[in-house]
Chains A and B, each alone.
Chain A
Amino acid sequence: MSVQGLDIRRSSASVVGSLSGLRVVPTVSKYIDTSTCIGCKACEAACVEWNDTGRIQTEQTGSYQTLPTLHAQFWNLIRFNEKEFDGGIIWLMRKDQCMHCDEPGCLAACPAPGAIVQYANGIVDVNPDQCIGCGYCETGCPFDVPRFHPTTGKMAKCTLCVDRVSVGLEPACIKACPTGCLQFGTKDDMVALGNARVAQLKANGFAQAALYNPDGVHGTGVVTVLAHGDHPDWYNLPTNPHVPWGVKFWKRVLRPLGVAAVFGAVIGAFAHYTKYGRKEVKGADSRDANLPDA
């Protein structure tokens, strides 16, 4: 879903985005408070409805969870994690979706110019018309979010309802949430809200409560309040997410070196010719057998 008229901060396989420099827009963010999520799945339904992703078969995995994992036609999944803790069972619901990283690994890995963009407001989005279906974004993503549509071969994921946000509406999932555990606003406001909620949780006996906004990807456009903030893995979140080193090394070191080597080899061959010239065959040289040998 590409939205016309939004400035682009970063674009895949491109040197620069398309910032006009004229419009100043704040970075936006979702706020997810896992401690007040009741697992009603209203956000799941709202996402499917607004984005017209169609109906797909749910899978029974022994819990309330709709599907085992995200799907090209299911961008918002409440994960129902069960964990034994303090002599009992705790039920940790977490809204799994694109995290809209400040440093998006999908965008870094993408070889198709403009197929993945990061708008000026921080939303990371896919342009299906530019997507070539290589799947590299799945390798680049530290949160295992991008999914390929089985028939179109195009990548799909949460757009943070950029079409709604660009006209001043909140994302569909936020609008549907009945408990207020989902909020939407500027990144600064959402971080402040998260910190306030974390302080509240700490005062109420959750000493390890934390706001999940990992530095490894320079922060995410989805900040998540975790009551057990010392164990992001209990919520199915990576403890220290970062763009895979192989992807970084490939794009930042090997590729520029390689481009230089390709041109360098051609220039080197020319340089060799000017310095050493040809290795000429001595004497008269012809296929014609009548010519005397040298």
Chain B
Amino acid sequence: MSAATPRRPIDLAVVTAREKEDVVVGNEIIRHNRSSRLIHWTVAVFFFLCLLTGMPIWSPVFGWMAYLFGGLTVCRILHPWFGVAFFLASGAMFFQWLLDMRLEPSERAWLGPKLFEYMRYQTDDSDVGKYNGGQKLLFWAVSLAAVGLFLSGLVMWFPMAFPLWLREFSFLLHNVTFILFVVAIVFHIYLGTAAEPGTFGSMTRGTVTRNWARLHHPRWYREVTGDKASRG
């Protein structure tokens, strides 16, 4: 034990992040408390289970995924149940995060050019609160998709209980929703890891640094710290 590395018996930020959100601990700000992170990862785990069991049924290009579960028949049996779990978890996440995710009128533009400006790192973020317009849009898109995937999935689970037109419609809805979902999630993961350093910790440890908050979510930073002078 060298003296240069003093032991820290308690990591105050981690302990605080179990219950609280939007509070400052030293140089860190708690962004997601434990229940918030738990519901996120529950949704994520069931999403990937659905993805890995569904894609080999979707296209033989992804047939190799079926071997992770013991074959295509196992996937066919498991996929609907993973889907039900994903839907329930998404529902819980929806109600847990709903209050923070209400779109403000100024954020509507995120549906169009602003999303691309953001991807070019060109947006003026000075008025961005805890979630930016893109994050809110993803929340609504994912929630809507969860409903669409669940309803169409029910029809595909018990096809012969439904009329032909509804079966055809459900096949198409399940496909389109899934394709858009995957594209969105690829960028969600990319932005949360490689593209924006410091972000992933908000979903593991639950915290971000002050500087991270000032860069990405300045209004939230001001609200949390009470620092009125600071502009992003």
Which of A's residues lie within 8 Å of B, judged by CB?
A: 13-14, 111-113, 132-136, 138-139, 148, 244-247, 249-250, 254-255, 257-259, 261-262, 264-266, 268-269, 272-273, 276, 278-289, 291, 293-294
Q: State whether A279 touches B168 (Cβ < 8 A).
A: no
Q: State whether B168 touches A262 (Cβ < 8 A).
A: no
Q: State whether A135 touches B160 (Cβ < 8 A).
A: yes
| Residues B104-152 near A (CB distance < 8 A) | 119-121
Asked if B212 lies at the interface with its beta carbon under 8 angstroms from chain A, I say yes
Q: Across the interface, which residues of A come within 8 angstroms of B169, CB to CB?
A: 246
Asked if B207 lies at the interface with its beta carbon under 8 angstroms from chain A, I say yes
Asked if B38 lies at the interface with its beta carbon under 8 angstroms from chain A, I say no
Asked if B88 lies at the interface with its beta carbon under 8 angstroms from chain A, I say no
Q: Which residue of A13, A269, A281 is within 8 Å of B190 (Cβ)?
A: A269
| Residues B65-97 near A (CB distance < 8 A) | 72-73, 75-76
- Closest partner residue, chain A, to B24 (CB atom): A289
- B28-66: CB near A (< 8 Å → 1, else 0) gives 100000000000000000000000000001111101000
Asked if B98 lies at the interface with its beta carbon under 8 angstroms from chain A, I say no
Q: State whether B73 touches A276 (Cβ < 8 A).
A: no
Chain B: interface secondary structure? helix
B51 CB, nearest partner CB in chain A, Å: 10
Q: State whether B168 touches A246 (Cβ < 8 A).
A: yes
Q: State whether B212 touches A278 (Cβ < 8 A).
A: no
Instruction: List 10 A–B pairs whose Cβ atoms lie within 8 Å, in order of A's numbering.
Output: A111-B57, A250-B171, A258-B178, A262-B183, A265-B183, A272-B190, A279-B197, A284-B211, A287-B27, A288-B26
A258 to B187, CA, bound (A): 16
Q: State whether A276 touches B209 (Cβ < 8 A).
A: no
Q: State whether B159 touches A261 (Cβ < 8 A).
A: no
Q: Which of B195, B197, B209 has the most CB of A within 10 A?
A: B209
Q: State whether B195 touches A278 (Cβ < 8 A).
A: yes
Q: State whether A281 touches B197 (Cβ < 8 A).
A: yes
Q: Which residue of A245, A249, A264, A293 is within 8 Å of B210 (Cβ)?
A: A293
Q: State whether A272 touches B195 (Cβ < 8 A).
A: yes
Q: State whether B60 touches A14 (Cβ < 8 A).
A: yes
- Closest partner residue, chain A, to B155 (CB atom): A139
Q: Across the interface, which residues of B come within 8 angstroms of A245, CB to CB?
A: 168
Q: State whether A132 touches B179 (Cβ < 8 A).
A: no
A135 to B160, CA, bound (A): 8
Known: A139-B164, A255-B175, A287-B13. A133 touches B190 (CB 8 A): no
Q: Across the interface, which residues of B come within 8 angstroms of A272, CB to CB?
A: 119, 190, 195
Chain B contact-residue range equals 35 or more
Q: Across the interface, which residues of A come within 8 angstroms of B119, CB to CB?
A: 272, 276
- Closest partner residue, chain A, to B178 (CB atom): A258
Asked if B99 lies at the interface with its beta carbon under 8 angstroms from chain A, I say no
Closest 9 CB pairs of A and B: A246-B168, A289-B26, A265-B186, A269-B190, A258-B179, A289-B27, A265-B183, A132-B76, A132-B73
Q: State whether B194 touches A273 (Cβ < 8 A).
A: yes
- Closest partner residue, chain B, to A289 (CB atom): B26
A72 CB, nearest partner CB in chain B, Å: 12
- Closest partner residue, chain A, to B184 (CB atom): A265
Q: Across the interface, which residues of B come within 8 angstroms of A132, CB to CB?
A: 57, 72-73, 75-76
Q: Across the interface, which residues of A come within 8 angstroms of B190, CB to CB?
A: 269, 272-273
Q: Across the interface, which residues of B come within 8 angstroms of A244, CB to CB?
A: 164, 168
Q: Which of B165, B169, B179 has the most CB of A within 10 A?
A: B179
A113 CB, nearest partner CB in chain B, Å: 5
A269 to B182, CA, bound (A): 12
Asked if B176 lies at the interface with its beta carbon under 8 angstroms from chain A, I say yes
- Closest partner residue, chain B, to A293 (CB atom): B210
Q: Which of A14, A268, A269, A293 has the most CB of B within 10 A?
A: A269
Q: State whether A136 touches B159 (Cβ < 8 A).
A: yes
A259 to B183, CA, bound (A): 11
Q: State whether B172 touches A262 (Cβ < 8 A).
A: no
A150 CB, nearest partner CB in chain B, Å: 12
Q: State whether B57 touches A291 (Cβ < 8 A).
A: no
Known: A138-B159, A272-B119. A112 touches B72 (CB 8 A): yes
Q: State whether B171 touches A247 (Cβ < 8 A).
A: yes
A112 to B164, CA, bound (A): 21
B60 CB, nearest partner CB in chain A, Å: 5
A245 to B187, CA, bound (A): 32
Q: State whether A250 touches B63 (Cβ < 8 A).
A: no
- Closest partner residue, chain B, to A267 (CB atom): B186
Q: Across the interface, which residues of B come within 8 angstroms of A269, CB to CB?
A: 186-187, 190, 194-195
- B174-208: CB near A (< 8 Å → 1, else 0) gives 01101100110011001000111110000000010
A281 to B59, CA, bound (A): 41
A255 to B167, CA, bound (A): 17
Q: Across the interface, which residues of B come within 8 angstroms of A278, CB to CB?
A: 194-197
Q: State whether B167 touches A246 (Cβ < 8 A).
A: yes
